[in-house]
């Protein structure tokens, strides 16, 4: 794992790492960096699709609930309107779509990124606490096909702006 | 770097395009003058439709200029010169109102004394809906709009030239009050010019609906033009996929807001089911109008909504341009839906003037817009937000005098 002082250095380093063929790479930054996910070659997640499906299911659920309540369970004549007055169902359908979609987004995100994570090997590096303040970290995981303790350390040291290159014990 | 060059220098072909559009517009207007002699009723109905379209392109731009002054944001730094050019068509748009003032007896039944006298409801509304007060109100709207356009564009030009740091503050202050006045003026203009075509009917959200429609058509037009301008420097550097996505996001927001307000209006009137409110929708249930409503739901809401959900489309200039074109066509159809059924209570009628007049007026407006666009640089000089928004793209450029 290498430490950087600026976001620009981290993005440049991440790009070089990806170009060098490393795949199992992770970057840590105290602030969101727009270009970073592209630089480390972060794959597209399934989250948007999950949110879309969640929203559609929520919408259908909301509409079915309204339909069941007003046409099956409690059929009441209100102002001479038909039992299935769909315009009246739209607000609930809409709200349920939003509710289900946002819940899917939050819990889907937690499921995919496996947070909260009480332990991770990088915590063993004392300076890593700086990742939530003003330092930027790039980590090449030992599970990577190209990983070789000495050569990877050499590679990280060669990156622009890298200092404090450390091997992280599992 | 081409930052200080005017659009004229970067795009010399704009002059030719301007001439073509102005000629096409003038030809269309002359052609529709024939329609006036044949059927003045239809002529003024179509003219109002065309007028509301170009009014929206102008005032929507003015609205976004003021929103950007207050909210900031890189999208506005990229778009503000073009938005300003669109707003500067306002003086001509003011003149184009004259035919509506002349055609009032054909457009508004409340201008006829005998109709008003025979109708207790219209008698009650006569204190507001009468010819002289209508014209006074129109004059107030135009004074406010032209005043805001004049001040903001004058200071924007001064900022380009001097970089005086007083100017952004002054523009912000005027925009804060101006936006409030603008919303009131657009809202009341919508009540006066369009809603009062059915003088018995009222809907308080109507003004906001027209306002959002103006924002939508203006943003769609800006996206098309900016994507085209991004063929050359400096716009090619400035209009990054992210900023284009931001502009498309604003267009998306307007699409959703329009759908939300249109549906709210319908839901409230439908559930209240009161005779004086439902008339407006009953006129639109006459043969042929219902399919138009479905076209609106599909092409003014569903299609742009799902297309603009996708980031890949929002950030792709050629794809988002196609969506923006669809949105402009949908806007014309929506204005047609607001205006035409009041002329044809008997059922769906599409006159050739409903096609020729909006097309001609649009062409005329685009010509005038190009004329304004050519005169200034494509990106603001000395904008305090420039560095933050576009700094990386123009790291080595000299952009302004005040450094």
pLDDT tens by residue, A111-127: 998 888 888 888 888 88
User: pLDDT tens, B33-63?
Assistant: 999 999 999 999 999 999 999 999 999 999 9
Asked whether the beta carbons of residue B273 and residue A34 sit closer than 8 angstroms, the reply is no
Nearest to A41, CA basis, from A4, A15, A63: A15
pLDDT band for position B2 (cuts 50, 70, 90):
low
Nearest to A16, CA basis, from A158, A130, A149: A158
Classify residue A163 by its DSSP letter: B
A with B: how many residue pairs have Cβ under 8 Å apart?
Answer: 15
| Best residue in B271, B293, B389 for a mutation probing chain A (most A CBs within 10 Å) | B271
Weakest-pLDDT range from A94-108, B108-122, B141-155, B387-401: B387-401
- In-domain check, residue B81: yes
Region B300-329 average pLDDT: 95
Query: Which residue would you say has higher pLDDT here, A124 or B95?
Result: B95
Strand partners, A27: A138
Residue B273 forms contact with A (CB below 8 Å): yes
Query: Which residue would you say has higher pLDDT here, B21 or B273?
Result: B21
Q: What is the pLDDT of residue A74?
A: 93
- Over pLDDT 90: what percentage of chain B? 83
Q: Which residues of A touch B (CB under 8 A)?
A: 34, 79, 81, 87-88, 90-91
Chain-centroid distance, C-alpha B227: 19
Tell whether the model's pLDDT for residue A68 goes beyond 60: yes
Residue in A34, A81, A90 nearest the CB of B263: A90
Asked whether the beta carbons of residue B267 and residue A90 sit closer than 8 angstroms, the reply is yes
User: pLDDT tens, A126-139?
Assistant: 888 888 888 888 88
What is the distance between the alpha carbons of residues A42 and A26, in angstroms, rounded to a whole number? 9
Asked whether the beta carbons of residue A90 and residue B271 sit closer than 8 angstroms, the reply is no
Q: What are the φ and ψ backbone dihedral angles of A139, each rounded to 5 degrees?
A: -125, 125
Q: What is the pLDDT of residue B395?
A: 60
Region B249-265 average pLDDT: 96
Tell whether the model's pLDDT for residue B206 goes beyond 60: yes
Mean pLDDT of chain A: 88
In the structure encoding, which two tokens stand for residue A158, read together?
Answer: 């060669």
Nearest to B123, CA basis, from B113, B133, B138, B132: B113
Q: Which helix (H) or strand (E) holds A140?
A: strand A136-140
Asked whether the beta carbons of residue B242 and residue A34 sit closer than 8 angstroms, the reply is yes
User: pLDDT tens, B349-390?
Assistant: 899 999 999 999 999 999 999 999 999 999 998 888 888 888
Residue B306 forms contact with A (CB below 8 Å): no
A83-114 burial, b if ≥16 CB within 10 A, otherwise e? eeeeeebbebbbebbebbbeebbeebeeeeee
pLDDT band for position B400 (cuts 50, 70, 90):
very low
Domain total in chain B: 1
Tell whether the model's pLDDT for residue B85 goes beyond 70: yes
This complex has an ipTM of 0.74
Mean pLDDT of chain B: 93
| Best residue in A87, A88, A89, A97 for a mutation probing chain B (most B CBs within 10 Å) | A87
Residue B267 forms contact with A (CB below 8 Å): yes
Query: Which residue would you say has higher pLDDT here, A21 or B158?
Result: B158
- In-domain check, residue B317: yes
| Best residue in B263, B265, B310, B391 for a mutation probing chain A (most A CBs within 10 Å) | B263
- In-domain check, residue B388: no
Q: Which chain B residue is nearest to residue A82, measuring alpha carbons?
A: B271
What is the distance between the alpha carbons of residues B280 and B129, in angstroms, rounded to a whole number? 18
Query: Which residue would you say has higher pLDDT here, B1 or B202?
Result: B202
pTM metric for this prediction: 0.88
In the structure encoding, which two tokens stand for residue B376, read together?
Answer: 């200034």
- In-domain check, residue B283: yes
A32 CA: distance to closest CA in chain B (Å): 15
In the structure encoding, which two tokens stand for residue B194, read together?
Answer: 């369009």
Give chain B's count of helices (H) and strands (E): 21, 0
In the structure encoding, which two tokens stand for residue A144, read together?
Answer: 């990577």
What is the distance between the alpha carbons of residues B150 and A13, in angstroms, rounded to a whole number? 50
Q: What is the pLDDT of residue A19?
A: 86
Region B293-311 average pLDDT: 95
Q: What is the pLDDT of residue B388?
A: 81
Contacts of B270 in chain A (CB under 8 A): 87
- In-domain check, residue B5: no
Q: What is the pLDDT of residue A31?
A: 85
Q: What is the pLDDT of residue B267?
A: 94
Q: Assess contact for A92 and A62: CB atoms under 8 A.
A: yes
Weakest-pLDDT range from A161-170, B12-21, B261-270: A161-170
End-to-end CA distance of chain B: 17
User: pLDDT tens, B207-247?
Assistant: 999 999 999 999 999 999 999 999 988 898 899 999 999 99
pLDDT band for position A57 (cuts 50, 70, 90):
very high
Tell whether the model's pLDDT for residue A165 goes beyond 90: no
- In-domain check, residue B367: yes
Residue B268 forms contact with A (CB below 8 Å): no
Q: What is the pLDDT of residue A134?
A: 85
Domain that holds residue B311: 13-381
What is the distance between the alpha carbons of residues B266 and B301, in angstroms, rounded to a whole number? 15
Q: What is the pLDDT of residue B401?
A: 42
């Amino acid at each position: 794992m290498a430490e950087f002082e600026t976001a620009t250095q981290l993005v440049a380093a991440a790009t070089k790492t990806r170009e060098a063929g490393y795949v199992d790479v992770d970057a840590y930054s105290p602030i969101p960096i727009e270009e970073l996910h592209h630089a480390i070659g972060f794959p597209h997640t399934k989250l948007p699709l999950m949110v879309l499906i969640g929203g559609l299911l929520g919408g259908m659920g909301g509409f079915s609930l309204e339909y069941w309540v007003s046409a099956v369970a409690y059929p009441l004549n209100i102002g001479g309107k038909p039992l299935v007055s769909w315009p009246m169902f739209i607000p609930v359908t809409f709200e349920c779509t939003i509710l289900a979609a946002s819940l899917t987004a939050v819990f889907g995100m937690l499921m995919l990124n496996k947070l909260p994570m009480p332990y991770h090997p990088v915590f063993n590096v004392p300076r890593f606490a700086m990742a939530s303040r003003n330092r930027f970290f790039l980590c090449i995981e030992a599970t990577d096909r190209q990983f070789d303790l000495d050569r990877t350390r050499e590679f990280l040291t060669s990156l622009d702006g890298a200092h404090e290159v450390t091997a992280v014990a599992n | 770097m081409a930052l200080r060059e005017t659009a004229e220098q970067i795009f010399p072909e704009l002059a030719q395009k301007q001439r073509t559009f102005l000629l096409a517009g003038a030809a269309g207007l002359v052609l529709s003058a024939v329609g006036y002699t044949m059927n003045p009723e239809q002529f003024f109905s179509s003219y109002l439709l065309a007028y509301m379209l170009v009014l929206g392109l102008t005032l929507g731009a003015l609205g976004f200029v003021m929103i950007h002054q207050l909210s900031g944001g890189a999208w506005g730094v990229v778009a503000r010169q073009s938005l300003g050019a669109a707003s500067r068509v306002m003086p001509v748009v003011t003149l184009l109102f004259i035919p509506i003032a002349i055609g009032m007896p054909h457009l508004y039944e409340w201008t006829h004394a005998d109709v008003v006298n025979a109708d207790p409801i219209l008698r009650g509304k006569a204190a507001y809906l009468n010819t002289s007060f209508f014209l006074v109100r129109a004059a107030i709207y135009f004074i406010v709009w032209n005043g805001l356009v004049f001040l903001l564009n004058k200071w924007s030009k001064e900022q380009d030239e001097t970089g005086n740091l007083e100017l952004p503050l002054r523009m912000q202050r005027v925009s804060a009050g101006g936006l409030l006045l603008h919303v009131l003026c657009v809202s009341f203009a919508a009540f006066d010019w369009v809603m009062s075509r059915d003088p018995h009917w009222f809907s308080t959200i109507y003004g906001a609906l027209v306002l959002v429609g103006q924002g939508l058509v203006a943003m769609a037009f800006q996206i098309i033009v900016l994507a085209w301008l991004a063929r050359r420097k400096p716009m090619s550097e400035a209009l990054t996929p992210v900023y284009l996505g931001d502009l498309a996001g604003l267009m998306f927001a307007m699409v959703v807001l329009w759908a939300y307000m249109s549906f709210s209006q319908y839901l409230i009137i439908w559930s209240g089911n009161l005779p004086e409110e439902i008339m407006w929708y009953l006129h639109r249930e006459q043969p042929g109008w219902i399919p138009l409503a479905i076209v609106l739901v599909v092409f003014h809401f569903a299609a742009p909504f799902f297309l603009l959900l996708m980031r890949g489309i929002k950030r792709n200039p050629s794809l988002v341009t196609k969506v923006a074109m669809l949105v402009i066509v949908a806007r014309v159809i929506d204005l047609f839906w607001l205006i035409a059924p009041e002329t044809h209570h008997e059922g769906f009628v599409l006159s050739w003037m409903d096609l020729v007049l909006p097309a001609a007026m649009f062409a005329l407006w685009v010509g005038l817009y190009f004329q304004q666009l050519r005169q200034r640089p494509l990106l603001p000089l000395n904008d305090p937000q420039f560095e933050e928004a576009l700094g990386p793209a123009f790291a080595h450029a000299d952009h302004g005098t005040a450094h």
